[in-house]
Structure 1
Amino acid sequence: MSHLYAAIVGAIILTLLVVSLTRLGKVKTKADYLVAGRSLPAFVLIFTLLSSWIGSGSLLGGAENAYNNGIVALWQGAGGWAGLLLIYFIAPRARRSAQFTIPDLLEARYNQLARVLGVIAVLFAYTAITSYQLIGGGDILSLIFPTVITPDLGKYIIAIFVIVFTAIAGMSSVAYMDVVIGLLATVTLLMAFPVLLHMAGGWSGFHTALPASHFRPLGSGSFLRAMELFLPTCLLMLGNQAMYQKFFSAKSEKDARVAVVGWVIGTVVLETVIVLLAMLGHVMAIKNHASPFPRAILAFTALHSLPGLLGALLMGAIFAKIISTANNFLFSPATNLVNDIFVRYIAPDASNKRILIISRLMVVFLGIWALYQALHTGSVLQKTLYAYTVYSAALTPVILAAFYSKRANAAGAVSAIFAGTFITVFWDTGFVHHHLPAVLAERDAIFPALIAAVLCLVLVSAFTRPPRAEQAAMFFNKPVE
């Protein structure tokens, strides 16, 4: 059995390497590497958006939540769905602005300091997201090869794969790999669900095996806890740089908008199936008297409950999804360091060849940093919420204001980015727990960080000079037909 799983994972790695190498010859310039030459059609955009969004946050963090608490985990996915509905209207504006990164957008709309603080916020959030992809990949390798690969050794191996795949051809490599991965994951997840449901005894057996609270919309918790799952995901989706970079890579505004429709449908279906599969995996673990790690329940179920080939394909799909998400979230901050720091401040006249070399070196550097975080992380769910909150509080409000508020200005944006980042990063420190009432200190950071950021954005903008008219022009003027 392990030989079949090893063969599937090996075939996936080989396929991804071939896809990356075939795109390598098309990467000649900075625009080719960072935004695929602004050439991605809607079909490719749909699958690269879907693959970059559904990774370990859903397959490990969301599954961990579903295993422990049931369908309340859908609040995490629902935040993404709500964000997607709003993105339908944002996508054409994002493509119209024709930037390379979110900090590019922040400087164009606000100022240079907003750019620099934006880079810092992205680095905190995206390397954290990359880190738990490495955890997920390491878990899978240790399940397939339990006597040879430990979870920590698996993290090192996955880190090498991700760094190599990401560095080869940039956005073009990432996007076209995602088409292969998205198709594989979509088909295998949908095939696995009815098989597991039948093995669990149908809907009646499913309901009987788990506590009744697992099937309540709020589980055994409160609406406030549901919002702590919903808001970080929703706001990350609305301001997600990896997503905007895909829109910047689109052939046209129409392709960007069409891609969002496909993305909405795919995300709603797959996020729901993932939660139900994790719950069914819990049922099968009870039947088999097994005690898997909750975060690894999908991979554990693929290995121990599903028929051989389907189980191997599902394991391979989960592995590929994790690789894909890690590629996306490692590539994104690397472009920030290159485009927003190196080219902007250190070597503005650098040749395309030099920029490509520095870009690949940054991928290696950030990959090592993400690996360090992966080796020192406990709960994937908590790491997920931390990463989402950094981005949600610090950047999403100022990104949305860039598109929809003519009054938001540089001073408001800078204060908001700083406040959101600072509060999130230091919320779980001893200082907070010693100086705030327990009822506040024990909550997640999303509400205090978001409220502080929005208040800074609104109040500071209101009491300082409005932005210059030309700063808002590219975000509000309609394109000439």
Structure 2
Amino acid sequence: MVLAILIIYLLIIFLVGIWGNKFNNGVDDYLLAGRRLGTWFASFALVATLYGGGKVVGLSEQGFESGLVSWWNGIGGGIGFILISLIAYRMRKLALFTVPDYVMKRYNSNGLRIMCCLLSLIALLGILASQVFAASSILEMFGVGSMTGAVIVSVVFVLYTAIGGLWGATITDFIHIIIAAVGTIVTSIIVLVKAGGFGGLGQGIASVDTAEYLSITGNWNVSFMVWLALPLILYNMIGQDVYQRLFASKDGKTAKHSAFIAGIILIAITLFPVIIGMGARTLFPEETNSALALPLVVGEVLPDFLAGLVLAAVMAAIMSTANSILTAGTSHIVNDLYLNGVKKKELANGKTLDEKFLVKLSRTWTLILGAIAILVATILPSIVDGLLISYTLYTAGVFTPVIIGFLWKKGTKQGAYASFIIGLFVAILGIAGVSTFGIPIEVLSVVVALIVYFVVSLITYKGSQEVEESLEKVVGDK
């Protein structure tokens, strides 16, 4: 029954995603849903970019190991959305396609735009692979081999995303988030009841300090809280999957309100996977493998019908993030590398490109990115590791040129290049195991990038009219 429910759900979602293709009349529709998303569609689409396998499966694992402090991963994502709502109005008014488009507009540097594009693609593929990894680990519990499970789920979301584009992804996201939220909430309530309430979580386990386990601060383990939250805060302020939804909103006010609402929703619903993980450790005290937290609850605690619905909810969460990442990655390929790279001179000379060809090209690259993600998923050590490495690398290089460049008028192209390269270099060293003197690499890489940006910009800034006019185009409209 469990797999039957999942198969039915996958079939319904596949058909809905294909139905979204009826709205695709050109590349603008395919990549940005015609810039017509209303507040709630945009809000749910934003939540869907983060509430995926890395949240439902990954947070249940983290909750199993560390307790309530794990919620900071979800809180960080919500804070990132709330912060981006402060500049979403002006960002939407720029009517761009991608974050590298903004970099080009701000710094007038095609090289920097391409560097940001490539780093974003690497991060997006890491996040996408984490969703495939999550899907395979859940399906394996039901007797479907790891790679087989990854291929089954991946084929579904890759195909309906390739056919339906952002319209199809947005419509299915609306369904996914409702199913995912309801499924995880119901499961967490059942787990709490069986564990004897919130106070019963972690009780009777010799290796667990109950007070620390139930504390949102983890006895003020600040470095761990930062490790969980900061990458999400920073990433959500610059992620292409996030900005694509903002750019797809119908106007600036919609983008602003949607980002704020998405932040509140994300903070609320990410608590429930953490509770599920904590409950799994309480109900199965002999189990030490955190990766089995959610599978144990689904397979051993829930009746078959509910288990099927929850499995569908988990797959919904995974696919909601996966299709968001796919459309974001495709936007980079088609807009940044093809239209503004390969075909830039031709378009500048007045040549027009066939919209049908661009949609076909977009679909082809959606399929290619999906296939690459499956391969990457086979080498990931864990879901959370894959996500946090992706977030850390991207934010180390891109956060400062984008956000500080938006807020500070003296930021220069030279400062942006220097901060990108050195911030990324520091992040790579930290991930490789080089000592960071006890400072979380997520913090150190961004701080170094900020210092370099300010120093180099002040040295190279001349207060020229060109710099002032470039900035005015980007942030002049309040």
TM-score (norm 2): 0.91
- Partner in structure 2 of residue 195 of structure 1: 190
Q: Percentage identity across aligned positions?
A: 24
- Contact 2:223 2:440 (8 Å CA) reproduced: no
CA distance in 1, matches of 2:249, 2:197: 43
1:375 aligns with 2:370: no
Give the equivalent residue in structure 1 for 2:450: 454
Q: Structure 2 CA distance, aligned partners of 1:215 and 1:203? A: 8
Cα displacement string for residues 90-120 of structure 1 (whole angstroms, at most 9, x for unaligned residues): 2112211110011111101112122101111
Aligned to 2:460, what secondary structure does the other structure show? coil
Query: SS of 2:284's equivalent?
Result: helix
Indicate conservation of the 8 Å contact 1:47/1:179, yes or no: yes
Does residue 13 (structure 1) correspond to residue 10 (structure 2)? The answer is yes
> SS at 1:100's partner residue?
coil
Give the partner amino acid of 2:85: Y
What amino acid is aligned across from residue 133 of structure 1 in structure 2? Q
2:157 and 2:323 in contact (8 A); partners too = yes
Match of 2:370, as an amino acid? G
Within-5 A mapping of 1:195-214: 195-210=190-205, 211=208, 212=210, 213-214=212-213
Answer yes or no: is the 8 Å Cα contact 2:14–2:157 preserved in 1: no
Question: Could you report, residue by residue, the CA deviation over 1:396-452 in whole angstroms, capped at 9, with x for unpaired residues?
Answer: 2222124312111221112222223333345433xx64xx58x55xx7532332122
1:344 counterpart = 2:347: no
Matched residue, 1:307: 303
Answering whether residue 360 of structure 2 is matched by residue 386 of structure 1, we say no
Paired residue secondary structure (1:239): coil
Aligned letter for 1:114? L
Question: Is the counterpart of residue 27 in structure 1 residue 30 in structure 2?
Answer: no
Aligned to 1:125: 123
Task: Describe the shift of the 1:89–1:351 C-alpha distance in structure 2 as closer, same or farther (beyond 3 A).
Answer: same
Letter paired with 2:185:
L
- SS of 2:330's equivalent? helix
Deviation (angstroms), 1:365: 2.1
After TM superposition, give the deviation of residue 455 of structure 1 in Å. 1.9
Farther-moved stretch of structure 1 (416-425 vs 185-194) = 416-425
How far apart are 1:478 and its partner, in Å?
Answer: 2.6
8 Å contact kept, 1:93–1:403: no
Cα distance in 2, alignment partners of residues 363 and 28 from structure 1: 18
Which position in structure 2 is the counterpart of 1:150? 145
Supply the RMSD in Å over aligned alpha carbons.
2.0
| Structure 1 range deviating more: 8-17 or 254-263 | 254-263
Shift of 1:296: 4.4
Could you say which residue in structure 2 is the equivalent of 1:175?
170
Contact 1:247–1:256 at 8 Å: present in 2 too? yes
Question: Do the aligned residues in 1 keep the contact of 2:281 with 2:287 (CA within 8 Å)?
Answer: no
Structure 1 residue ranges without an equivalent (≥5): none
Measure how far apart 1:214 and its partner are.
Answer: 1.3
Contact 2:61 2:294 in 1 (8 A): no
Q: What does residue range 31-42 of structure 1 map to in structure 2 within 5 Å?
A: 31-42=28-39
**2:55 matched to 1:52?**
no
Deviation (angstroms), 1:153: 2.0
Paired residue secondary structure (1:339): helix
How far apart in 2 are the matches of 1:459 and 1:378? 38
Q: Contact (CA 8 Å) 2:51, 2:320: kept in 1 or not?
A: no
For 1:428 and 1:444, how far apart are their aligned partners in 2? 10
Aligned partner of 2:221 in structure 1 is 222
Q: Check 1:93–1:320 CA distance in 2 against 1; reply closer, same or farther (3 A cut).
A: same
Aligned position for 1:294: 290
- Using the TM superposition, name which of 179-188 and 350-359 deviates more: 350-359
Assess, with a 3 A threshold, how the Cα gap between structure 1 residues 360 and 296 changes in structure 2: closer, same or farther: farther
Q: Does the Cα contact within 8 Å between 1:233 and 1:388 map onto a contact in 2?
A: yes
Partner of 2:59: 62
What's the counterpart of residue 273 of structure 1?
272
Distance 1:233 1:188 in 2: 24
Partners of 1:351 and 1:214 in 2: CA distance:
58
Distance 1:303 1:403, change over 3 A: same
Counterpart residue type for residue 51 of structure 2: I
Distance 1:395 1:450 in 2: 9
Q: Does 1:161 align with 2:156?
A: yes
CA deviations 1:237-289 (Å, max 9, x no partner) are 11121111101001112222222232122111111122112111221222xx5
Alignment of 1:236-247 (within 5 A): 236-247=235-246
**What is the count of residue pairs matched by the alignment?**
463
Contact 2:78/2:265 (CA < 8 Å) preserved in 1? Answer: no
Q: Does 1:325 align with 2:331?
A: no
Shift of 1:221: 7.5
Q: Distance in 1 between matches of 2:167 and 2:179?
A: 19
Letter of the 1:174 partner, please give it: A
CA distance in 2, matches of 1:222, 1:140: 30
Are the equivalent residues in 2 in contact too, given 1:103–1:116 (CA < 8 A)? yes
Q: Distance in 2 between matches of 1:380 and 1:243?
A: 20
Residue 408 of structure 1: aligned partner: 411
The superposition leaves residues 64-98 of structure 1 with CA deviations (integer Å, 9 ceiling, x where unpaired) of 22111111212222222322221221211221111
SS of the aligned residue for 1:25 comes to helix
Asked if 2 retains the 8 angstrom alpha-carbon contact of 1:67 and 1:282, the reply is yes
Q: Secondary structure at the match of 1:468?
A: helix
